[in-house]
Structure 1
Amino acid sequence: MGDERRAPRRRTVVRLVSIVVVLAVVYALVVTLYAISGHVTGLGPAEPEPKKGGVIVVLNVEGVDAAHQRADLSVYIKPSETFFTGNGLALAEDIHVIVSPIEGTQSIVFPADSAIATKPVRVLSDGEIGNWPFDGYRADELIVLAYVTNGGVSRPIPTDVWFTGDVPGWRVDVALKGKAPKETPATLAEALSAPQYIDFRATRSSSTVAFAFVLLALLLVMPCLVLFVAITAFRGKRKLEPSFMGWMGAMLFATIPLRTFLPGSPPIGSWIDFTVVLWVVVGLIVGLAIYVAAWARWGHPER
Structure 2
Amino acid sequence: MRWRSPMWTAGVVLAGIVVAAGAGVWVHAAERTAGDTWHSVGADEPDRVDVYATVQKVDAVAREVTVRVLVQPRGSLGEDDGAAPTADLTLLNSSSLRGDHTFPAHERIASTDLPIALTGGAVTDYPFDGYDSRIQFAAVQGGKPVPVQLTLDKVDSLFSLSITGDAGAGLEIRLTRATSVLVFALFMMFAMWAIAAAVALGARHLIARERGLVWPAFGFMAASLFALAAFRNAAPGSPPIGSLLDYTAFLWAEVIVALSVFTSVVAGSVAEKRT
TM-score, normalised relative to structure 2: 0.84
Kindly state the Cα deviation for residue 21 of structure 1 after the two structures are TM-superposed: 5.5
Amino acid at match of 2:103: F
The equivalent residue for 2:70 is: 76
Kindly state the Cα deviation for residue 50 of structure 1 after the two structures are TM-superposed: 5.0
Equivalent pair of 1:234/1:293 in contact (CA under 8 Å): no
Pairing partner for 1:164 from 132, 150, 153: 153
Aligned: 1:63 with 2:57: yes
What aligned pairs does 1:163-242 form with structure 2 within 5 A after superposition? Answer: 163-178=152-167, 180=168, 197-236=170-209, 241-242=214-215
Find the aligned partners of 2:92 and 2:52 in 1 and give their Cα distance.
Answer: 13
Kindly state the Cα deviation for residue 250 of structure 1 after the two structures are TM-superposed: 0.7
Gaps of 5+ in 2: none
Structure 2 vs 1, CA of residues 206 and 117 (structure 1 numbering), >3 Å: closer, same or farther?
same
Structure 2 vs 1, CA of residues 202 and 264 (structure 1 numbering), >3 Å: closer, same or farther?
same
Kindly state the Cα deviation for residue 129 of structure 1 after the two structures are TM-superposed: 0.6
Equivalent pair of 2:93/2:137 in contact (CA under 8 Å): yes
Kindly state the Cα deviation for residue 157 of structure 1 after the two structures are TM-superposed: 1.3
Structure 2 vs 1, CA of residues 243 and 82 (structure 1 numbering), >3 Å: closer, same or farther?
same
Structure showing greater radius of gyration is 1
- SS of residue in 1 equivalent to 2:160: strand
Kindly state the Cα deviation for residue 251 of structure 1 after the two structures are TM-superposed: 0.7
- SS of residue in 1 equivalent to 2:232: helix
Find the aligned partners of 1:210 and 1:101 in 2 and give their Cα distance.
Answer: 32
Structure 2 vs 1, CA of residues 88 and 269 (structure 1 numbering), >3 Å: closer, same or farther?
closer
- SS of residue in 2 equivalent to 1:122: strand
Superposed CA deviations along residues 144-170 of structure 1, whole A, max 9, x for unmatched, are: 2122233xxxx2212111012311111
Find the aligned partners of 1:96 and 1:282 in 2 and give their Cα distance.
Answer: 57
Structure 2 vs 1, CA of residues 74 and 109 (structure 1 numbering), >3 Å: closer, same or farther?
same
Find the aligned partners of 1:29 and 1:251 in 2 and give their Cα distance.
Answer: 30
Amino acid at match of 1:43: H
Structure 2 vs 1, CA of residues 240 and 28 (structure 1 numbering), >3 Å: closer, same or farther?
farther
Find the aligned partners of 2:250 and 2:38 in 1 and give their Cα distance.
Answer: 37
Aligned: 1:94 with 2:95: no
Kindly state the Cα deviation for residue 177 of structure 1 after the two structures are TM-superposed: 2.8
Kindly state the Cα deviation for residue 32 of structure 1 after the two structures are TM-superposed: 4.1
Of residues 33-42 and 260-269 in structure 1, the stretch that sits farther from structure 2 once superposed is 33-42
Kindly state the Cα deviation for residue 110 of structure 1 after the two structures are TM-superposed: 2.0
Amino acid at match of 1:285: A
Gaps of 5+ in 1: 1-5, 181-195
Aligned: 1:43 with 2:39: yes
CA RMSD, Structure 1 to Structure 2 (Å): 3.2
Equivalent pair of 1:219/1:255 in contact (CA under 8 Å): yes
Pairing partner for 1:145 from 129, 138, 142: 138
Kindly state the Cα deviation for residue 78 of structure 1 after the two structures are TM-superposed: 2.2
Pairing partner for 1:252 from 214, 225, 247: 225
Find the aligned partners of 1:255 and 1:23 in 2 and give their Cα distance.
Answer: 26
Q: Which structure shows the higher strand fraction?
A: 2
TM-score, normalised relative to structure 1: 0.77
The equivalent residue for 1:188 is: none
Structure 2 vs 1, CA of residues 86 and 16 (structure 1 numbering), >3 Å: closer, same or farther?
closer
The equivalent residue for 1:113 is: 106
Find the aligned partners of 1:243 and 1:35 in 2 and give their Cα distance.
Answer: 44
The equivalent residue for 2:98 is: 104
Aligned: 1:275 with 2:248: yes
Amino acid at match of 1:135: D
- SS of residue in 1 equivalent to 2:171: strand
Find the aligned partners of 1:19 and 1:33 in 2 and give their Cα distance.
Answer: 21
Kindly state the Cα deviation for residue 37 of structure 1 after the two structures are TM-superposed: 2.7
- SS of residue in 2 equivalent to 1:299: helix
